[in-house]
Structure 1
Amino acid sequence: MAFLKTLFQRLVELFERHAGLMAVFGFVSGVASYWLVERRESYAQMIALLMLSSWVWLVLENWLRAGILRRFGFDLPPALLRYATQMVQQESLFFVLPFFLVVTSWDHGQAVFTVLLLLCALISVIDPLYYKHLAPRRSLFIIFHTLSLFAVLLVALPLILHLTTRQSLALALLMALLFSLPSLGKLLRSDVWWRRPLLILMLVALAGGLWQGRRWVPPATLRLVEISLSQQIDPEERTAGARLDRIDAVSLHRDGLYALTAVAAPRGLQEQIHHIWLHRGVEVDRITLDIAGGRKEGYRAWTHKRNFPADSVGRWQVQVVTDSGQLIGLTRFTVGEGPARLPVPPPPEEAPADEAPTEEAPADEMQPTVPESVEPLPAPVPGEVQPTDKNDN
């Protein structure tokens, strides 16, 4: 026991003397973990399990400390536990940050969540901020701790269990709140009868609020590799034709519009996504697609929308969202009034007076041929969405 006590004491002195090195280690190990996951998908589950196991240790910290004290009569130094907690948070935040930075739509509310994670990562490596301004404020530290765990779970659960984004989001939210329950309990007095009902009410309120704000949480393990709008699709090459960001209303109603997306996802993931068509900020149609993970270039799928409202002029958006409503990416296009008008030819020059005028053809010879029987095309059903033409991987 004396040897262990001396070892722990030296570790504490080492951390105190080289606090900056610990911050560098947390940053490097976190980014290296992300790089390994991206380069070798076979490492993904192992790294995700290591991240989660470190958090399990933090959650069980109080019980482990009490058990070691009761069994061996040795109390772990509080300073060592503080440094271990900080290092786990650093590694976790710098591991998940690249996932969120890559998938965040910066002109969307998702930017708030990702910037908040970025601030947490910076605070975790700046000791004066972490120990003097964050750690002493118990309520702020609990929020910081829970947010870090929530972000790790959003990344780790799809990699380990191949859950969909909806399942991962719900389970990560539930686990983060349950693991924060011991810390929340310390904020309330233990000698009052209403302590436990208030804790349950706080958890329900937090879960409901966070679930309502799920649209602001980027889907960390789904990345939009490509999105394009076109009026042609090459099914063999799985590529779109000429990309459009502006189209006239006549062509739009005549030929419709293809929306092609390539979404990268973890290997083995089966996910349902939606192409949402919005006109002037109002949802017009929602077309559902099933995708599968495992391709670095992304799972390529497209939809063909043929029916548009009569008044389709203006700004449009095509949003790619998960089944839980989280935005993966979007593109915009504009519908104009009509096709560009051809230039008006100049009037023909008048013939000189001494020349005889050209004789015109008889009127009956200039009449166009009209088919005897032409059946009009059926009018499109308002709001009808044509089914997906093709989904390929």
Structure 2
Amino acid sequence: MGTLLTQARIAKLQSFVERLVIRLKPWTWLWPPLAFSAGLGSFFLVDRQQWLGAALALGLVFAWLLLLSESLVGRWLANRGYPTLPKGVAAFIAQMIHQETLFFTLPFILITTVWNSGQSLFALLVVAMAVLSIIDPIYFKIADRWRSLYFLFHALCVFLVVLVTLPIMLHLTTGQSLLLAIATTVVVALPSFWHLLKQHSFSGWFSLLAMMLLLAGLAWFGRVWVPPASLWMTGSALSPALNIQQRAPSGSSALTPQAIKEDGLYAYTAIRAPRGLSETISHVWHHNGEPLDVVDLDINGGREEGYRAWSHKLNFPDDPSGQWRVDIMTDSGQRLGLIRFTVSEDAEKATIADSQIRPAGLSRLNLQRFIAGRDRDADQNDEE
């Protein structure tokens, strides 16, 4: 009697899910643009809609369980005479959650990507995943025929939502969020390698462990290609001097060897971060591709125009001529931006350090607000 009652309840729940799916299908085209708009609005809002990030994380866990139910749980229910969801229903629900996740996180990735670096490849991968999620024939073909690839697709969605939402919800640093994102992704990707366990042998378990370690290692060593989705550089400048009271670069000079040895050089950056987030970033100075100095700077989130920080380099090689680069990095090794300049005896070939704050990425839209921004936070400087 109890079994029949349980079967009836499961059948009633599944009937409700089927009716809900039928009603939602005509409106699914609205889902991606709404998700993208929510993500874009969340990025620029001060609080960034923390509740939506939490809802996405829970939705992805739910989708993961649904995907498992189509295979592992579905077979378990069928063997015991319980009804199962019609084929494709779980994939449809998962598709909606994937679309919401990808299009919500897409603005964070596009805005924080340093496009003249390897991060552009990661950003293009996310764009490709978002496009794939709205092309039904390809999406459902992968869901139906290539289950391992499908679970990897879902694992990448989990990676994105953890990377984006944890610094916002829990005020974790980008490094802490990255480690948790990698660990969660490895767990969620486990069903992709489930076939290895069917061998019921030591080699199968060893292969599974090796695949997990390989996946985690690739994610960690490839972190420089992953944009720090909670941080972005709004502007940068090179200058021979700095107005400490106004916290602004000043002066202008051609970067000849004599000029930089006499006055030194300031690298000025403005970094935007969520309110309540404290982070350590680094200015890494390179000369002709060789790293010379690393200056660590502590920043705090919440200032709309970006937290202003600068490093002042005074010690230069005997012959400083050549190509220079200042990498702006997080403490986890993710790139926030870079500043390139040339030092030359020929003033016409040398870069002009003109103190002009040049906006980075999409902050060009807010250039005047950035320059005329109000001083709401304390800022930090350091010297090398």
TM-score range, shorter chain: 0.7 to 0.9
Secondary structure at 2:316 match in 1: coil
1:233 Cα shift? 1.1
Shift of the 389–86 alpha-carbon distance from structure 1 to 2, 3 Å rule, reads closer
In 1, Cα distance between the equivalents of 2:225 and 2:252?
29
In 2, are the aligned partners of 1:12 and 1:79 still within 8 Å (CA)?
A: no
Q: Percent identity?
A: 39
Secondary structure at 2:88 match in 1: helix
Aligned to 1:172: 181
Shift of the 209–38 alpha-carbon distance from structure 1 to 2, 3 Å rule, reads closer
In 1, are the aligned partners of 2:149 and 2:192 still within 8 Å (CA)?
A: no
Shift of the 135–90 alpha-carbon distance from structure 1 to 2, 3 Å rule, reads farther
In 2, Cα distance between the equivalents of 1:204 and 1:5?
38
In 2, are the aligned partners of 1:15 and 1:83 still within 8 Å (CA)?
A: no
Larger relative helix fraction = 2
2:317 is equivalent to residue 312 of structure 1 = no
2:299 is equivalent to residue 294 of structure 1 = no
**Match for 2:257 among 238, 244, 249?**
249
**Match for 1:9 among 9, 13, 18?**
18
2:297 is equivalent to residue 273 of structure 1 = no
2:85 is equivalent to residue 80 of structure 1 = no
1:286 Cα shift? 0.9
Secondary structure at 1:271 match in 2: strand
2:267 is equivalent to residue 263 of structure 1 = no
> Which structure's CA Rg is the greater one?
1
Q: Deviations for 1:228-263, whole angstroms, at most 9, x for unmatched residues?
A: 11012111221112466x511111100000111110
1:29 Cα shift? 3.0
In 2, Cα distance between the equivalents of 1:243 and 1:214?
36
2:58 is equivalent to residue 49 of structure 1 = no
In 1, Cα distance between the equivalents of 2:129 and 2:347?
52
1:97 Cα shift? 0.9
1:197 Cα shift? 2.6
In 1, are the aligned partners of 2:148 and 2:191 still within 8 Å (CA)?
A: no
2:109 is equivalent to residue 104 of structure 1 = no
Aligned to 2:334: 326
**Match for 2:140 among 131, 149, 156?**
131
Aligned to 1:366: none
In 2, are the aligned partners of 1:166 and 1:323 still within 8 Å (CA)?
A: yes
Q: Deviations for 1:75-116, whole angstroms, at most 9, x for unmatched residues?
A: 333322110111111110111111110111111111111101
Q: Which amino acid aligns with 1:196?
A: W
Aligned to 1:230: 239
Q: Deviations for 1:18-62, whole angstroms, at most 9, x for unmatched residues?
A: 3xx41x333123213213423433353211101101011123336
In 2, Cα distance between the equivalents of 1:211 and 1:7?
42
Residue pairs, 1:30-69, within 5 angstroms:
30-61=35-66, 66=73
1:8 Cα shift? 3.0
In 2, are the aligned partners of 1:96 and 1:151 still within 8 Å (CA)?
A: yes
Q: Which amino acid aligns with 1:42?
A: D
Secondary structure at 1:78 match in 2: coil
**Match for 2:101 among 92, 97, 100?**
92
**Match for 1:207 among 216, 237, 248?**
216
After superposing the two structures, state which structure 1 stretch, 27-36 or 211-220, moved more: 27-36
In 2, are the aligned partners of 1:228 and 1:243 still within 8 Å (CA)?
A: no
2:245 is equivalent to residue 240 of structure 1 = no
In 1, Cα distance between the equivalents of 2:223 and 2:243?
36
In 1, Cα distance between the equivalents of 2:147 and 2:100?
22
In 2, are the aligned partners of 1:256 and 1:305 still within 8 Å (CA)?
A: yes
Q: Which amino acid aligns with 1:34?
A: G
In 2, Cα distance between the equivalents of 1:224 and 1:389?
16
2:381 is equivalent to residue 390 of structure 1 = yes
Aligned to 2:164: 155
Count residues with an aligned counterpart.
Answer: 339
Q: Deviations for 1:253-279, whole angstroms, at most 9, x for unmatched residues?
A: 000001111100111111111001111
Q: Which amino acid aligns with 1:262?
A: A
Using the size of structure 2 for normalisation, the TM-score is: 0.81
In 1, Cα distance between the equivalents of 2:260 and 2:322?
12
Secondary structure at 2:49 match in 1: helix
In 2, Cα distance between the equivalents of 1:107 and 1:248?
26
Aligned to 2:200: 191
1:177 Cα shift? 0.5
In 1, Cα distance between the equivalents of 2:273 and 2:180?
19
Aligned to 2:311: 303
In 1, Cα distance between the equivalents of 2:63 and 2:248?
48
After superposing the two structures, state which structure 1 stretch, 40-49 or 162-171, moved more: 40-49
Q: Which amino acid aligns with 1:142?
A: F
In 2, are the aligned partners of 1:260 and 1:301 still within 8 Å (CA)?
A: yes
In 1, are the aligned partners of 2:121 and 2:225 still within 8 Å (CA)?
A: yes
Using the size of structure 1 for normalisation, the TM-score is: 0.79
In 1, Cα distance between the equivalents of 2:178 and 2:66?
25
